[in-house]
Amino acid sequence: MRAIPTLKISISGVRGVVGDSLTPAMLARFAEAFGTYVGSGAVVVGRDTRTSGEMVRQAVHAGLLSSGCRVIDLDICPVPTVQLAVRHRRAHGGIAITASHNPAEWNALKFVGADGLFLDAGQARELLDIYHQGEYVKVAGTEMRGVERMTNGLDLHIKAILDAVGPLPAGPRRLRVALDSCNGAGALIAPRLLESLGVDVVPINVTPNGLFPREAEPLPENLGALCEAVVASQCDVGFAQDMDADRLAVVSERGEPIGEDYTLVLATWYVLAKMEMGSDPVSGPGPFSGPVVVANLATTVAIDGLAARFGSRVVRSKIGEANVTDRMKIEKAVIGGEGNGGVIYPRINFARDSHVGMALILHLLAESGRTVSSLMADLPHYSMAKEKLTCPSNKIPEVLRAIRADFGHLPIDARDGIRVTLADGWFLVRGSNTEPIVRVVAEAGSETAVRRIIDDVLGRVARIVDAA
């Protein structure tokens, strides 16, 4: 069987296994290419807590400095902090050093433009062209600029959230929150933010040492310790982050994961409810005008049902933060995000931000006086399944062509993989931009129905992948 590649270069950035395909020389060259792309300006750099992070940071600094950039270094911080700092400092761009949900042996570079958003497809291709051509700006030692240590990045992030939503309203008692930061970058900021909001924090896995206490993706099967902590400490809610703290998963007061898709649904509920009350958190007091919510193609249709209650509509985008934010700008959306726990609230931070998600959901709980379970019971409920299969990148187009041919008689959205609308649900098949895998997502009205759909699709994909 063909070996699985340990390096992925795509419009999402570059990621690979440290000590194998991801070398200091390659990292420095990518940083040189980015420095050339941004015109040798100021570049914000931040990293997650992975044990390889310091090596990667040094290589990135070297590449940026050699291309004439001034480096603004945040050291360990969440990815959304990097994006916020780029805008705050009016930098020419940013580099976030993180492999997000990938295993511990991986690391990666994510590239941010001057607007604080990840590079879109066209911008990323331009950067990749510079990298592959190898024609980088180089400056002499006397012309090299310095490295500035920005020590207030986390304070800036917390202040932006509190300025927008404020602390929780006083109630008969303080909410209690269990927090699992996976020993990642969120461990440095999430406990401080939660305390500033006015809740009692029960922390687990908040030592920012990069040692993974669980699988990094905040999926239900990885949240056993958090569920136990919620029940044992009688918490009102549990929050789980990934290593770079852009994704958020929620556990109810019963110790039950509600599923990453419903993170965005709950956050959206709070924003739309405030707008309906005449307190538009985006444009200020004024008449309610039916705002737009943007969600990607793989997000639960429960958000459509919720939006309809408030006279709002959901616009779908391709998957990926850059695609969602692009669509949000076009639609002037009040909130948006992805079904992987990514909440984007432009009033605070035009980025997937788990800390913003926490603040919005806690305000929903505090101001409604309801529990997570009560809110969930009042939402449209669907069963969702997400699976993945290892697949060489060169076989992904063949997989998509076959799925399209098999289901061509049904409504299909081919903007990002193949999304098929069925009589009793929907499914999406797409190749990952970050790993050599095919992802399959399905949703239906019951667990039995969604398993039938996803098992059928997985079987079709597997036959193609395994074919010689």
Catalytic residues, by residue number, are 100
Angle between helices 447-466 and 396-406 (to 10 degrees): 130
CA 372 to chain centre: 22
355: its two tokens: 């800390």
3-state secondary structure of 13: strand
47: its two tokens: 């990293």
Q: Which residue has tokens 């399959």?
A: 440
Cβ proximity of 82 and 111 under 8 Å: no
Cβ atoms within 10 Å, residue 308: 12
**354-386 core/surface letters (b: 16 or more CB in 10 A; e: else):** bbbbbbbbbbbbbeeeeebeebbeebeebbbbb
User: 63 CB contacts (<8 Å, ≥6 apart)?
Assistant: 27, 28, 29, 30, 31, 32, 33, 34, 35
Please choose, from the candidates 229, 216, 191, 212, the residue with its C-alpha nearest in 3D space to the C-alpha of residue 358: 191
DSSP lists the bridge partners of residue 241 as 248
Cβ atoms within 10 Å, residue 396: 21
Please choose, from the candidates 375, 380, 349, 379, the residue with its C-alpha nearest in 3D space to the C-alpha of residue 364: 375
Cβ proximity of 278 and 421 under 8 Å: no
User: 423 CB contacts (<8 Å, ≥6 apart)?
Assistant: none
Q: How far is residue 35's CA from residue 292's CA, in Å, rounded to a whole number?
A: 36
Maximum pairwise Cα distance, the chain: 67
